[in-house]
């Protein structure tokens, strides 16, 4: 997962909103939020995005390193 700059994030939101407008969906509103994991302020792509990119990368790397196994049959 690669970190994006603020201008890249704003461009993504702009492009997504153009596509959403054509399908009749409401636009996304990016803005500043507080990360639920580390407590720092970050630019969120939308109201579903509550964890900053730094913490997301750490979580992803941790999940990749976990071994999965099955219990029972």
Is 13 contained in some domain?
yes
Is 15 contained in some domain?
yes
The tens digit of pLDDT for each residue in 61-72 reads 777 766 666 677
Q: Domain range for residue 22? A: 6-64
Q: How many domains does the chain have?
A: 1
Give CA angle at 63 (48, 55), nearest 5°: 50
Is 1 contained in some domain?
no
CA of residue 71 relative to chain centroid, distance: 32
Is 28 contained in some domain?
yes
Neighbours of 6 (CB within 10 A): 10
The tens digit of pLDDT for each residue in 4-44 reads 788 888 898 899 999 999 999 998 888 899 999 999 999 99
Is 73 contained in some domain?
no
Cβ within 8 Å of residue 62, ≥6 positions away:
none
pTM of the full predicted structure? 0.62
d(CA 73, CA 49): 37
């Amino acid at each position: 997962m690669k970190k994006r700059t603020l201008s890249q994030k704003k461009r993504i939101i702009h492009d997504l909103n153009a596509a959403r407008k054509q399908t009749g969906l409401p636009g996304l509103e990016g803005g500043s939020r507080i990360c639920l994991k580390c407590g720092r302020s970050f630019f969120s792509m939308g109201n579903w995005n509550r964890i900053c990119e730094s913490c997301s990368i750490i979580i992803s790397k941790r999940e990749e390193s976990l071994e999965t196994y099955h219990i029972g049959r």
